[in-house]
């Protein structure tokens, strides 16, 4: 084991990160708690050279990160075919050190706020770290990466609020065009205002809802809303919740389109599973269970919301 901080310089730690990365390339598999991509630690040129080794050995890599969104980080376009990544919120597990696990080796390192490197070669310790990695991996959200490493999503992070006494969860669509053509990124209430106006315009349909899920999208500057009214199933909890749906162009109910697209159906399924867990399983109220600052639905690869629609204040 080597973790004596008093003997570690910045250059020394970078050399050790390069060395451990090269040694890991031929491993049967690699598990990483990732703070930052390798290029940010050792430089892009050195990182791309090592990534070619990962491609050469066809090395499976699993990463756990506190980041929901990645920008392009590699020109080795074959690499990401063997990379799978999951997001875990920092309040669940905060990653302060990069940790790499392969074969019988575990190394932890960082460059900020101070330099640190520690390496342990021990079969028992490596096994324990893999078990911890798997436990955290199992509760993470899948992230889909393009060939260059950038992440893809189909909708923005959900927005939760109340209309009168009705809990509302809104999913702004991301892949149907530029949503800002219909809504303001600066006005942090623009989407909620629209959904509220839809609900208000059709209170006969919405007034008895236990909860509402809205999927908001657009065609050019015209807003659309797929709106689901959700009610508790008083006959059988085993059947899940009861749904009815309407589609709105602006505030007008339209019937010449399907009830939902594939993307919005996936949102609805993810929400159904979350609501079963929180309301049926844990006994929460619809109001508590609709809080998307506290509770998030689990999505399949490629559909995990990664960023908010509104610009940060």
294 domain residue, yes or no: no
Q: Give the pair of three-digit tokens for residue 123.
A: 């079969």
Looking at the structure, tell me whether residues 139 and 247 fall in a common domain: no
Residues 202-259: pLDDT tens digits? Answer: 999 999 999 999 999 998 899 999 999 999 988 877 788 999 999 999 999 998 877 7
pTM of structure: 0.59
- Considering its fold, how many domains does the chain have in total? 2
* Domain co-membership, 33 together with 164: no
DSSP assignment letter at 1: -
Nearest to 31 by CA among 103, 97, 92, 96: 103
Residue where a domain terminates, one of 129, 152, 175: 152
Q: How many CB atoms within 10 Å of residue 129?
A: 20
Domain co-membership, 197 together with 125: no
For residues 14-25, b (16+ Cβ closer than 10 Å) or e, as one string?
bebbbebbebbb
Give the residue, 37 or 157, on which the prediction is more confident: 157
Write the pLDDT tens digit of every residue in 18-68. Answer: 999 989 989 999 999 998 777 777 777 887 887 888 888 888 889 998 887
Whether residue 132 is found in the same domain as residue 270 = no
- Please provide the average confidence, as pLDDT, over all residues in the chain: 87
When pLDDT is cut at 50, 70 and 90, the band that residue 175 belongs to is low
> How many other C-beta atoms lie within 10 A of the C-beta of residue 157?
19
Give the pLDDT confidence score for residue 96 in this predicted structure: 92
Where are any strands of DSSP class E within the chain?
Answer: 30-34, 61-65, 83-87, 98-102, 105-110, 116-121, 141-145, 151-152, 159-163, 166-172, 211-219, 222-231, 242-249, 252-254
Domain that holds residue 70: 5-152
DSSP 42: H
pLDDT band at residue 77, thresholds of 50, 70 and 90? low
State pLDDT tens for residues 262-297. 788 889 999 999 999 999 999 999 999 999 999 989
CATH number at residue 42: 3.30.870.10
């Amino acid at each position: 084991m080597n973790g004596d901080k008093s003997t570690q310089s910045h250059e020394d730690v970078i050399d050790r990160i390069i060395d451990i990365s090269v040694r890991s390339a031929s491993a049967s598999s690699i598990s990483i708690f990732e703070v930052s991509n390798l290029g940010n630690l050792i430089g892009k040129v050195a990182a791309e050279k090592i990534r070619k080794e990962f491609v050469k050995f066809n090395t499976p890599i699993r990463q756990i990160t506190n980041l929901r969104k990645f920008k392009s980080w590699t020109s080795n376009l074959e690499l990401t075919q063997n990379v799978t990544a999951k997001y875990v919120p920092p309040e669940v597990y905060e990653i302060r050190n990069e940790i790499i696990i392969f074969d019988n080796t575990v190394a932890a390192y960082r460059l900020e706020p101070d330099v640190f490197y520690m390496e342990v070669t021990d079969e028992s310790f490596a096994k324990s770290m893999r078990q911890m990695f798997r436990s955290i991996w199992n509760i993470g959200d899948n992230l889909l990466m393009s060939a260059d490493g950038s992440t893809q999503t189909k909708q923005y992070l959900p927005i939760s609020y109340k209309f009168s006494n009705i809990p509302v969860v809104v999913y702004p669509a991301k892949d149907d065009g530029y949503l800002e053509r219909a809504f303001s990124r600066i006005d942090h209430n623009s989407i909620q205002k629209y959904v509220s106006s839809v609900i208000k315009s059709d209170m006969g349909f919405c007034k008895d809802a236990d909860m509402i899920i809205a999927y908001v999208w657009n065609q050019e500057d015209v807003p659309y809303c797929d709106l689901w009214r959700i009610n508790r199933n008083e006959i059988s909890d085993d059947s899940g919740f009861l749904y009815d749906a309407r589609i709105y162009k602006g505030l007008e109910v339209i019937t010449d389109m399907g009830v939902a697209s594939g993307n919005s159906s996936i949102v609805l399924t993810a929400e159904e599973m979350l609501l079963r867990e929180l309301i049926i399983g844990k006994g929460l109220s619809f109001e508590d269970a609709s809080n998307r600052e506290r509770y998030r639905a689990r999505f399949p690869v490629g559909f995990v919301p990664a960023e908010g629609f509104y610009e940060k204040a």
